[in-house]
A and B are shown apart, each in its own frame.
Chain A
């Protein structure tokens, strides 16, 4: 039974570049969450989707961040243009209704 799959696992890029993070939720799950984890701010919810529809994006830091969920099995988080302060580990999680969330292993993003 595959868990939440995120790609890439690591990304190093220069500031100003576009970054796209990808997530495949667990099949059958209807909620998907994007988090960012840093030492300073801990684990922050950026945005979450329910049945492919964005429900709350109040955690998205600024307009440089955008997220899409074109279908039930795929979501992307895009940063354009990227900045050094965006460096963090980005997690995707999925759940079904009121069940606990299942997390992927994250994408470690470094912006130089």
Chain B
């Protein structure tokens, strides 16, 4: 079952603009992760934010987490055509050493050159 719900489902922007994607979830989490999927390929991990963190940066990526609202956002600054992909949030609420993730429905981002 999907815990994360993302919006928008699809986003189209011009190169150089910023892209913001949101994710909401339902249960308590250890951490929240964002993944990217290019067409015809597997998911690639982008960034992880722990439940006790509020904001994290990695290059042009900025992730926020609000555990009180059970929501997260992914901001991609100065977007490029190569950023065109689907972006998924995934929540980790598992215990033990094996990290079981629940993925959201994804946002399809199109960056127009």
The reply to whether the CB of B42 lies closer than 8 angstroms to some CB of chain A is yes
For this complex, into which size category does the number of interface residues on chain A fall?
20 to 34
Within 8 Å CB of B110, what residues of A? Answer: none
B42 adjacent to A4 (CB under 8 Å): yes
Q: Are A98 and B99 in contact (CB under 8 A)?
A: yes
A13 contacts B by Cβ under 8 Å: no
Answer yes or no: A97 CB below 8 A from chain B CBs.
yes
CB–CB A91/B106 < 8 A: no
B109 to chain A, nearest CB (A): 16
- Cα A31 to Cα B96 with chains together (Å): 12
Q: Which listed residue (B1, B40, B98, B103) contacts A31, Cβ 8 A?
A: B98
Contact with B along A54-91 (1 / 0, CB 8 A): 01100000000000000000000000000000000001
Pick the contact of B100 from A45, A97, A106 — CB < 8 Å? A45
**Which of the residues A43, A44, A104, A105 comes within 8 Å of B40, measured between beta carbons?**
A105
Instruction: Report whether A45 and B102 are in contact in the complex, using a CB–CB cutoff of 8 Å.
Output: yes
**B98: which of A43, A44, A55 is its contact (CB, 8 Å)?**
A55
- A42 contacts B2, C-beta separation under 8 Å: yes
A103 and B43 form a contact (CB under 8 A): yes
Q: Which of B33, B42, B97, B105 interacts with A91 by CB under 8 Å?
A: B42
B29 CB–A CB distance under 8 Å: no
Q: How far is the CB of B43 from chain A (nearest CB, A)?
A: 5
Cβ distance A88 to chain B, nearest Cβ, rounded Å: 14
Q: What are 16 residue pairs bridging A and B, where the CB atoms are less than 8 Å apart in the complex?
A: A30-B97, A31-B98, A41-B2, A43-B106, A44-B2, A45-B101, A50-B98, A56-B100, A91-B42, A97-B97, A97-B99, A98-B99, A101-B99, A101-B101, A103-B43, A104-B42
